[in-house]
Amino acid sequence: MWAYIVRRILATIPVMAVVALFVFSLLYIAPGDPAAVIAGDQASPEDVERIRASLGLDRPYLVRFGEWVWRILHGDLGTSIFTNLPVATMIAQRIEPTLSLMTVTILFAVSVAVPLGVVAAWKQGTIIDRLVMAFAVLGFSVPVFVVGYLLAYSFALELDWLPVQGYTPFSHGFWPWLENLILPALALGTVYIALIARITRASMLEVLNQDYIRTARAKGAGQGSILFLHALKNAAVPIATVVGIGIALLIGGAVVTESVFAIPGLGRLTVDAILRRDYPVIQGVVLLFSFVYVLVNLAIDLLYTLFDPRIRY
Amino acid sequence: MKRRDVLSLAGAAGAAALLPAPAISQGAAARTLRFVPQANLANFDPIWGTQFVVRNASMLVWDTLYGIDNTFTPRRQMVESEEVSDDGLTWTFRLRSGLRWHDGEPVLARDCVASLERWMVRDGMGQMIRALRQELTAIDDRTFRLRLSAPYPKLLLALGKNNTPIAFMMPERIARTDPFQQITEYIGSGPMRFNRSEWVPGARATFSRFEQYVPRDEPPNWLSGGKRMLVDRVEWVIQPDAATAAAALQSGEVDWWETPLNDLIPVLRRNRSIRIDIADPLGNVGCLRFNHLHPPFNDVRARQAVAWVVNQADFMRAVVGNDDSLWRPMYSYFTPETPNYTEAGAEILKNPRDPATARRLLQEAGYSGQPVTMLVAQDLAPLSAMGQVANALLRSIGMNVDFVATDWGTVGARRASREPRERGGWNIIFTWFAGADCTNPASYLGLRAHGDQAWFGWPNDPAIEAGRDKWFAARNAAEERAACEEISRAAMISQPFTPTGFYRAYQAWRTNVSGIVPGPLPWFWGVSKT
């Protein structure tokens, strides 16, 4: 097991190297010039060239890539072209809101979706099942920003229960932190509830038809025990997979949600950096995201061994 | 310690964690103004970064030697007095006493000399002064002298103008930074300090009142007069989404929104706690810019052909929507309702639209269906709207439009290319100029026509440049106006760009905020909150 974990962690290195190469190359060939944006409208071509040189953008591809990799290997993600702040500092400023949003969203989605999926499977073919599936279709179909606006209008503007926008750090208290996250997590969580509920239902239906479930019933096990102890544990592997995928997808979903609710997270940092062609920030954030992707996949693989002891690495 | 004590302590700690942090008192809340700016404050060096949002924030932190009032007259600000020699070549400036930087050090003449040196490299008028400068030196702690090789009548306007980059004063050690490198210290002598530790680019920037600031005695008037802050703290809350900003204003989470989306104005109007008014009476000038280097628009007849069919109403309704009070036709290159507005030679824009003449001019220019590359930034609503209208318009007179829908970052880079369209160049771009920049030729980039040195598109028209020179040499308003009429007549013929109309925008604020004065940028002095 430990050897497997070490192997997987070591395997992240070539993955990250490929990601780094792709990110750098894509940005190199992408149109747009931060020097022109910085120089402003009054600048002469010579001014733009001077800024480009000061940023090191006039050097050959391989030289720039080599320098960038060298810095990364030394733990230096570089400095933002526009803010003049270290990229690591900018990421540190933004990571808490994004992590908070992702954590609350996943907790909320799993705690709602799994019971919904279980109940839908249990009541297969009934009105409850259809209602759950109808919600799942709706959750998939309605864009996150539409749900976000509807929630903000209802619960913030009309009812005045929750704030419209912003983020309060956890250090300012649990409730102030949570009240800013409830609506974004609801909005972002809708699609994941739909996804996880559908997978849970399908997986449960497969398990509920197994012989050992019939045996459990014959032994007189209660419905709750059958559903949540016998069936759910055996149906958990696909659910864990989809939750893992969901965490990865949340990174993309957070971009929209953070914009709609004005949460200063990594998603907005990424979009702002792309629009301005702030290369060091884009490169740093994408590297971080890809690292998180790899780690989430590893965590999910390890979780399989908890749910199914037959799986061994 | 017993198990029960541990449990009760843990319980108390848990309960404490659930409690909110101490709420900000009502008085303190009233002393904090929460403002939604037009864009993200991504950097904070007003000489290095020339975006309007940087200028507007800088206005709180850095002060100027002079500042224009609402008649565009430069008034003394940091300067107590000035003397000019009879030949107009030597200017001696004396600073007000008691001026201090935010780090407590006194403002010295040598700080101003270094600040002017840095500004002159990056600013258009500054570059003109730099070319004439014989000497710029500090005489004593409060006095400095500028000696020129030729008179420059617009010197005080240059030092007090609102066009970016503004001649902000900084401590010498900061002002010595290469003008093409960002400063790393944000120390000014303006009415507010910048709270660097609270700055989260893309999210917020905050400013605290500078207690040692000494405002002038005169009432505030745009960039001039006493800049008295009536709040202790200003918070800039960056809102990437207009609907969220509108909701935040309605719920009272923010107090003042600089650029509300026109589509949301009816919603905001229905809220009795919100006031709406024009943000900037000087508005914006829409611009359809030609590339003068390559066919077909290297031929004046092709540019005139487009001008003959531009219907400003179409452009402006696409930009501002159905609110006709927000726009007006602009048969001129100068901002409407300002002293230099002139329609001299403007028949090409005023007369009934004439597609037949346009087609004839295109034919005379030798145009025969070659692709015309139009770069249209889709992420800036006014530019996207103007692009759509122009696309239909040019097609209607038989032009083969290569419509490139892209983002502003790409347009910003590609517009600098002087190559032909097939090698990555362009034929038409869109932009808008702040009306404040179009009141005279001083900082009017779009109206420069000195070929290779001109703004993107590189028009070359000596007649426009001659008119501009006359404006700089003008010694009174009548001479200035005559020069602008000369420029107008020349520009209407050569069409360095075609104006697509004049439009204004709203700003919105909560009724518990007072003292907001419309202008080319948001003035925070004199604004209070209850």
How do the residues of chain B divide into helix, strand and coil, expressed in percent and rounded to 5? Answer: 35, 20, 45
Q: State whether residue B190 is helix, strand or coil.
A: coil
Whole-number average pLDDT of chain A: 87
Q: Specify the higher pLDDT residue, A36 or B288.
A: B288
Top-tier CATH class for B27-61+180-280+512-529: alpha beta
pLDDT band at A262 (very low <50, low <70, confident <90, very high): very high
Q: Specify the higher pLDDT residue, A260 or A39.
A: A260
Q: What is the dihedral of CA A30, A296, A253, A163, to 10 degrees?
A: -130
Whole-number average pLDDT of chain B: 92
Contacting residues of A for B19, CB less than 8 Å apart? 173-175
pLDDT band at A10 (very low <50, low <70, confident <90, very high): confident
Chain A, nearest residue to B51 by Cα: A40
Strand partners, B138: B144
Q: Evaluate whether B441 touches B468 at the Cβ level (below 8 Å).
A: yes
Q: Do domains B27-61+180-280+512-529 and B66-175 have the same CATH topology?
A: no
CA distances (Å), A227 to each of A33, A230, B357, in order? Answer: 58, 6, 80
Out of B50, B244, B415, the one facing A262 most closely (by C-beta) is: B244
| Length reported for chain B | 530
- Would you tell me which residues 215-274 of chain B have a C-beta closer than 8 angstroms to some C-beta of chain A? 237-241, 243-245, 247-248, 250-251, 253
The pLDDT assigned to B1 comes to 41
- pLDDT over 80 (residue B409): no
Contacting residues of B for A163, CB less than 8 Å apart? 251, 253
Q: Evaluate whether A35 touches A278 at the Cβ level (below 8 Å).
A: no
The pLDDT assigned to A41 comes to 62
Between CA A61 and CA A66 the distance in angstroms is 8
Average pLDDT over residues B443-447: 91
The reply to whether residue A42 touches residue B244, judged by beta carbons under 8 angstroms, is: no
* pLDDT, tens digit, 9 for 90 and up, residues A137-175: 898 889 888 999 999 999 998 999 999 999 999 999 999
Distance from CA of B375 to the nearest CA of A (A): 13
The pLDDT assigned to B28 comes to 65
* pLDDT, tens digit, 9 for 90 and up, residues B52-76: 899 999 999 999 999 999 999 999 9
Listed in sequence order, the DSSP H helices in B92-192 are 109-122, 124-132, 155-160, 172-175
Domain boundaries, chain B: 27-61+180-280+512-529, 66-175, 284-503
Distance from CA of B340 to the nearest CA of A (A): 22
Q: Does B407 contact A at CB distance below 8 Å?
A: yes
What pairing do the DSSP bridges indicate for beta strands B74-76 and B284-290?
A: unpaired
The pLDDT assigned to B2 comes to 45
Give the whole-number percent of chain B exceeding pLDDT 90: 84
* pLDDT, tens digit, 9 for 90 and up, residues B196-236: 999 998 899 999 999 999 999 999 999 999 999 999 999 99
Q: Which of A36-40, A305-309, B218-222, B327-331 has the lowest mean pLDDT?
A: A36-40
The pLDDT assigned to B476 comes to 92
User: Best residue in A27, A38, A101, A256 to probe B by mutation, most B CBs within 10 Å?
Assistant: A38
- pLDDT over 70 (residue A313): no
The pLDDT assigned to B23 comes to 45
Distance from CA of B247 to the nearest CA of A (A): 7
Architecture of domain B284-503: Roll (3.10)
Task: For residue A162, report the phi and psi dihedrals to the nearest 5 degrees.
Answer: -135, 155
Out of B19, B414, B455, the one facing A175 most closely (by C-beta) is: B19
Distance from CA of B169 to the nearest CA of A (A): 20
- pLDDT over 80 (residue B169): yes
Q: Kindly tell me the burial class for residue B181, based on how many C-beta atoms sit within 10 Å of its own C-beta (0-12, 13-18, 19 or more).
A: middle
Contacting residues of A for B237, CB less than 8 Å apart? 166, 262
Chain A, nearest residue to B271 by Cα: A157
Contacting residues of B for A44, CB less than 8 Å apart? 453
Between CA B308 and CA B359 the distance in angstroms is 10
- pLDDT over 90 (residue A254): no
Average pLDDT over residues A205-227: 87
Q: Evaluate whether B238 touches A262 at the Cβ level (below 8 Å).
A: yes
CA B67-B70-B75 angle, to 5 degrees, is 30
State the amino acid at position B2 in one-letter form.
Answer: K
- pLDDT over 90 (residue A97): yes
DSSP state letter for B284:
E
Residue B108 token pair: 């010295």
Most confident of A220-234, B419-433, B494-508: B494-508
Distance from CA of A60 to the nearest CA of B (A): 19
* pLDDT, tens digit, 9 for 90 and up, residues B298-341: 999 999 999 999 999 999 999 999 899 999 999 999 999 999 99
The reply to whether residue A152 touches residue B48, judged by beta carbons under 8 angstroms, is: no
Question: Which residues are within 8 A (CB) of B142 and not within 5 positions of it... i.e. 6 or more apart?
Answer: B80, B94, B95, B97, B108, B109
User: Best residue in A28, A98, A164 to probe B by mutation, most B CBs within 10 Å?
Assistant: A164
Q: Does B414 contact A at CB distance below 8 Å?
A: yes
Domain A93-307 matching CATH 3.20.20.10: the answer reads no
Question: How many Cα atoms within 13 Å fall on the side-chain side of residue B305?
Answer: 26
CA B479-B483-B485 angle, to 5 degrees, is 115
Question: Which residues are within 8 A (CB) of A244 and not within 5 positions of it... i.e. 6 or more apart?
Answer: A296, A297, A299, A300, A303
Contacting residues of B for A259, CB less than 8 Å apart? 240-241, 244
Q: Does B50 contact A at CB distance below 8 Å?
A: yes
Chain A, nearest residue to B42 by Cα: A83
The reply to whether residue B247 touches residue A165, judged by beta carbons under 8 angstroms, is: yes
Cis peptide before B20 (omega within 30 of 0): no
Chain A, nearest residue to B15 by Cα: A174
Distance from CA of A302 to the nearest CA of B (A): 32
Q: State whether residue B343 is helix, strand or coil.
A: coil
Contacting residues of A for B21, CB less than 8 Å apart? 168, 172-173, 176
The reply to whether residue B416 touches residue A36, judged by beta carbons under 8 angstroms, is: yes
Q: Evaluate whether B146 touches B126 at the Cβ level (below 8 Å).
A: no
Q: Which of A133-142, A209-218, B10-19 has the lowest mean pLDDT?
A: B10-19
Out of A164, A176, A276, the one facing B253 most closely (by C-beta) is: A164
Q: Evaluate whether A254 touches A188 at the Cβ level (below 8 Å).
A: yes
Out of B42, B408, B445, the one facing A83 most closely (by C-beta) is: B42
Between CA A35 and CA A22 the distance in angstroms is 22
Q: Specify the higher pLDDT residue, A293 or B188.
A: B188
* pLDDT, tens digit, 9 for 90 and up, residues B85-121: 999 999 999 999 999 999 999 999 999 999 999 999 9
Q: Evaluate whether B290 touches B300 at the Cβ level (below 8 Å).
A: no
Question: Which residues are within 8 A (CB) of B217 and not within 5 positions of it... i.e. 6 or more apart?
Answer: B226
- pLDDT over 90 (residue B6): no
The reply to whether residue B123 touches residue A42, judged by beta carbons under 8 angstroms, is: yes
The reply to whether residue A277 touches residue B409, judged by beta carbons under 8 angstroms, is: yes
The reply to whether residue B21 touches residue A176, judged by beta carbons under 8 angstroms, is: yes
Q: State whether residue B425 is helix, strand or coil.
A: coil
Contacting residues of A for B416, CB less than 8 Å apart? 33, 36, 45, 48
Q: Evaluate whether A51 touches B431 at the Cβ level (below 8 Å).
A: no
Residue B439 token pair: 């009141």
Question: Which residues are within 8 A (CB) of B225 and not within 5 positions of it... i.e. 6 or more apart?
Answer: B67, B69, B75, B216, B218, B219
The reply to whether residue B408 touches residue A40, judged by beta carbons under 8 angstroms, is: no
Task: For residue B78, report the phi and psi dihedrals to the nearest 5 degrees.
Answer: -80, -20
Average pLDDT over residues B1-12: 44
Average pLDDT over residues B385-405: 96
Out of B48, B203, B410, the one facing A32 most closely (by C-beta) is: B410
Q: State whether residue B373 is helix, strand or coil.
A: strand
The reply to whether residue B412 touches residue A153, judged by beta carbons under 8 angstroms, is: no
- pLDDT over 50 (residue A215): yes
B233: left (phi over 0), alpha (psi -120 to 50) or beta: beta
Between CA B212 and CA B208 the distance in angstroms is 12
CA proximity to B109, closest of B67, B78, B144:
B144
The pLDDT assigned to B18 comes to 43
pLDDT band at B167 (very low <50, low <70, confident <90, very high): very high
DSSP code string of A93-142: HHHHHHHHHHHHHHHHHHHHHHHHHHHHHHTTTSHHHHHHHHHHHHHHHS
Residues of chain A with CATH 1.10.3720.10: 93-307
Domain B66-175 matching CATH 3.90.76.10: the answer reads yes
Contacting residues of B for A83, CB less than 8 Å apart? 42-43, 201
